[in-house]
Structure 1
Amino acid sequence: MKVLYAQSGGVTSVINASAYGVLDEAKKAGLEIFVGIHGISGVLREKILNVTDRELEGLKTTPSAAFGSCRKKLKSQEDISRLFEIFEKYEIEYFFYNGGNDSMNTAWKLHEEAKKRGFPLKVIGVPKTIDNDLPYTDHCPGYGSAAKYIATAVMEATLDLRSMYVDSTRVFVMEIMGRHAGWLAAAAGLGWLNGIGADIILLPEVPFDKEKFLNKVDETIRRKGYCSIAVSEGIRYPDGFFVSDMGFTDSFGNRQLGGVGFTIAGMIRSELSLKTHVAIPDYLQRSGRHIASKTDVEEAEMVGRTAVKLAVSGVSGVMVTIERKSNEPYKVEYETVGLNKVADQTKYLPDEFHNEFSVTEKFFEYVKPLVEGEIFPTFRNGLPVYTIFREVEEL
């Protein structure tokens, strides 16, 4: 019996922990293991690697997609038929797709096609996204570590700002990923648990009002002398238009966003005449494995292991979910939801987790367990050691 695993969409610092969970659990079950290089884009080109005899332990502490990811939607019957040719050729009986909203749509299409064809294929979605916007799960593997990275970076940058504001930069702006939901930008406020964080947080859930925003910046400067701002890339004007729309779409059909930090900084400079600095962590926030959350790493591995257990028991057409049972002590259980319910859906930051320019105690209660603990990678020559598959560069 043979397994095919693949990674898809924007990466995280713990997606490879899920890969390890899937592949190690499959090995324990006596299954032959294949991985798709660069997701279904690679599978369509028959770029498939047999990893049954590979050493995989290092995946648990390696960021990004060790086997390569992709941003491809299944839009044609030709592509679907080609995938089933590959499944048949390699005698694949279990397919695990590790991704977010769009990836679950792909997994759902393959599950439905398998039923239609009477093809013996079990399809399970393995969740991941730093955006934390998959519905029907309490949270997503990848979010806790990205939130920890953002919270730490904002704390450190704000301390820098606090040191220099008297005759230098008065405003610091960090642009944070998050197209539709503000989960990650909200993490910029988490540092207040330890005394310092973002003074203003701009979320996609709150329509951007330029006048109110500038008044808030001015009030903060007058009160404390400096202002630290976190802005989600997905903030919109009241009419629904993205503040940072770049005018074109990516391969998933999403509007390409970028530069909102500089847009916000420009407003502050022109209207308030304040010296402003902008930082864009970009890839760093999603692949910052050196500061990953222990909770996140362990849960990422467990959703992978759970996916295999479900598939070998005959389950198909579902995504693994995390159900929180309690905060103190923190306890979760692993459940499932139909892929059709998750595909292309978005979970927004609840109203009770934020107000106009900041986050609430409810948000702190929710996110604190997700950033707890550390599992550091091995270090050599003063630097982390990561697992690298050279085959990823040969597509």
Structure 2
Amino acid sequence: MPRNALYAQSGGVTAVINVSAQAVIETARRHPERIGTVYAARNGIIGALTENLIDTAQEPDAAIAALRHTPAGAFGSCRYKLKGFDKNLAEYERLIEVFKAHDIGYFFYNGGGDSADTCLKVSQLGDKLGYPVQAIHIPKTMDNDLPLTDCCPGFGSVAKYTAVSIREAGFDVASMAASSTQVFILEVMGRHAGWTAAAGGLAAEREGDAPQVILFPEIVFDEDRFLAAVDRAVKTYGYCAIVASEGLRDANGRFLSEADTTDAFGHAQLGGLAPRLAQRIKTRLGYKYHYAIADYLMRAARHIAARTDVEQAYAVGRAAVELALTGASGVMVTIERQSDSPYRWTTGTAPLEQVANVERKLPRAFITADGFHITEACRRYLAPLIAGEDYPPYENGLPRYIRLKNVPVPPKTGRVFTIGTQT
């Protein structure tokens, strides 16, 4: 009898994470002799622990296909990281209990670095606790900071959104600068790695194009140098457009936008960098400003997704199932670049031990010597990732997105499990 599969989404969602879900479900449906039902855990690993499962078999093929055009997480996501076996054995025993009850033999976890760590631990259930399960990590992160892969699904679309947004805003500010706004700041996501901020640099194809200044988390923030660059741009071009990463740090290593709170992983909560920068510009340079904080808008922008990103998101989901069918476990699907122009790529694998909790930062060679823009090497890397359009269907002037039925699977374990404790 074929064993069942469990798919789950984790971490910050993207415009194309559902494309990977589509690929997993569609590929599994083509192999009924090997994979039974594909269940989805509601809200990531939390759904697995609480036995809150969804029966994707209740969704028709057309609904699953419509995931291609729908942003965010169709099955819910979470920020929850399993502790080590020695620190919370009860969670692993609970996973085995749920997996046994629903005959789960395959586990596909779709997420970033912390999710890779969770997937690695699930892959170790066989060796450590005697319940073998094939666990494959499907990469997803708009931050593009997973190691051993050319890029991460979710990033290309955010990169496209960033480049388009700063280009359009640049036209706006340039038209108003003579008598009104002279400085515009676009704050983008990127805690430790400046990939998203760098993508804004693609919009600057000629001298004076927006953005004139990019602020990367890899470059220590120097207020005097920054203000001098802004002042120089305004005096030279009449205005200055800035892309600023939320993860900007000062010389002491502190986030400029740190809010003195942390998330579920212990990461500092960030937000509000743009108004801080704007106020310094106003106080010290006297320029009128506007700013925007893209935040969830950029990662949910399916209407402007990059076709390359959509295709890669599907490819890694399909490859995960195909790898599982060969007996693979404890690996992440990767994207391997074969050439820049034309852009050619294929999928590969990387061991989760080398992926989990490792962040890939923007190389210094991708940042100009003055620290305020991208190099040609960076442009060559980024340009193919935003290529192509893959518009969703529209109805009444708005994108038509799917909401799945998400039919719950009846519990079989006979008990309630509360995260962190057992009752």
Q: TM-score, normalised by structure 2?
A: 0.91
Deviation at 1:114, TM superposition (A): 2.6
1:121 and 2:133 equivalent?
A: yes
Please show how residues 79-98 of structure 1 align to structure 2 within 5 Å. 79-98=91-110
Who is 2:53 aligned against?
48
Name the SS for the 1:20 alignment partner.
helix
Determine if the alignment matches structure 1 residue 103 to structure 2 residue 105. Answer: no
2:78 paired with 1:70? yes
Matched, 1:173 2:173: no
Note the C-alpha offset of 1:170. Answer: 0.7
Classify 1:392/1:240 alpha carbon distance in 2 versus 1 (closer, same or farther; 3 Å).
farther
2:361 is aligned with 1:348? yes
Runs of 4+ in 1 over 3 A off after TM superposition: 193-196, 390-394
CA shift in 2, pair 1:317/1:199, >3 Å: same
RMSD (CA atoms): 1.5
State the secondary structure of the residue aligned to 1:52. helix
Of 399, 402, 409, 1:384 maps to 399
In 2, the alpha carbon distance for the partners of 1:114 and 1:201 equals 47
Deviation at 1:381, TM superposition (A): 1.2
Contact 2:59-2:404 at 8 Å conserved across structures: no
Q: Which residue of 2 aligns with 1:185?
A: 197
CA–CA distance in structure 1, aligned partners of residues 265 and 373 of structure 2:
31
CA contact (8 A) 2:210 2:240 kept: no
Name the structure 2 match of 1:2.
4
**Cross-structure match for 1:59:** 67
* Deviation per residue, 1:289-315 (Å, 9 max, x gap): 001011100110000000001011100
Tell me the amino acid that sits aligned with residue 39 of structure 1. Answer: G
1:361 to 373, 376, 389: 376
Rounded Cα–Cα distance in structure 2 between residues aligned with 1:59 and 1:230: 31
**1:70 aligned partner, one-letter code:** C
Who is 1:244 aligned against?
257
Residues of 1 paired with 2:148 and 2:345: CA distance? 14
Corresponding position: 1:256 with 2:269:
yes
Secondary structure of 1:230's aligned partner: strand
Q: Give the 3-state SS of the residue equivalent to 1:212 in structure 2.
A: helix
Between the aligned partners of 1:328 and 1:220, the Cα distance in structure 2 is 32
Question: Does the 8 Å contact 1:99/1:126 carry over to 2?
Answer: yes
The 5 Å alignment of 1:212-361 reads: 212-355=225-368, 356-361=371-376
Q: What SS class does the counterpart of residue 324 from structure 1 fall into?
A: strand
What SS class does the counterpart of residue 124 from structure 1 fall into? strand
Quote how far apart the aligned CAs of 1:391 are. Answer: 4.1
Residues 138 and 322 in structure 1, CA contact (< 8 A), matched pair in contact too: yes
Give 1:383 deviation, angstroms: 0.9
Give the whole-Å Cα distance in 1 for the aligned partners of 2:358 and 2:120: 13
3-state SS of the aligned residue for 2:124?
A: helix
Specify every segment of 5 or more residues in structure 2 that has no aligned partner in the other structure, as ranges: 410-423
Q: Distance in 2 between matches of 1:227 and 1:192?
A: 12
In structure 2, the CA distance between the partners of 1:286 and 1:63, relative to structure 1 (3 Å rule), is same
**Paired position in structure 2 for 1:141:** 153
Residue 380 of structure 1: CA displacement? 1.1
CA–CA distance in structure 2, aligned partners of residues 108 and 265 of structure 1: 43
| 1:393 Cα deviation after fit | 11
Task: Give the secondary-structure state (helix, strand or coil) at the position aligned to 1:58.
Answer: helix
Rounded Cα–Cα distance in structure 2 between residues aligned with 1:201 and 1:295: 25
Cα distance, 1:118 vs. partner? Answer: 2.6
Task: Give 2:57's aligned amino acid.
Answer: T
Gaps of 5+ in 1: none
Matched, 1:22 2:27: no
| 2:213 and 2:241 in contact (8 A); partners too | yes
Aligned-pair CA distance for 1:390: 5.0
In the aligned structure 2, how far is the partner of 1:242 from the partner of 1:276?
22
Q: Alpha-carbon deviation of 1:193? A: 3.2
- Give, in whole Å, the separation in 2 of the partners of 1:110 and 1:285: 31
- Counterpart contact for 1:17–1:300, Cα < 8 Å: yes
After superposition, the C-alpha distances for 1:219-243 in whole angstroms (9 at most, x for unaligned) are 1111111100110000101221111
Q: Measure how far apart 1:74 and its partner are.
A: 0.8
Matched residue type, 2:40:
V
Measure, in 1, the Cα distance between the counterparts of 2:101 and 2:374.
52
Report the CA distance shift for 1:393/1:238 in structure 2 as closer, same or farther (over 3 A): farther
* Paired position in structure 2 for 1:13: 15
Deviations 1:233-262, CA, capped at 9 Å, x for gaps: 001012211111100110111111111111
Preserved CA contact (<8 Å) 2:125 2:133: no
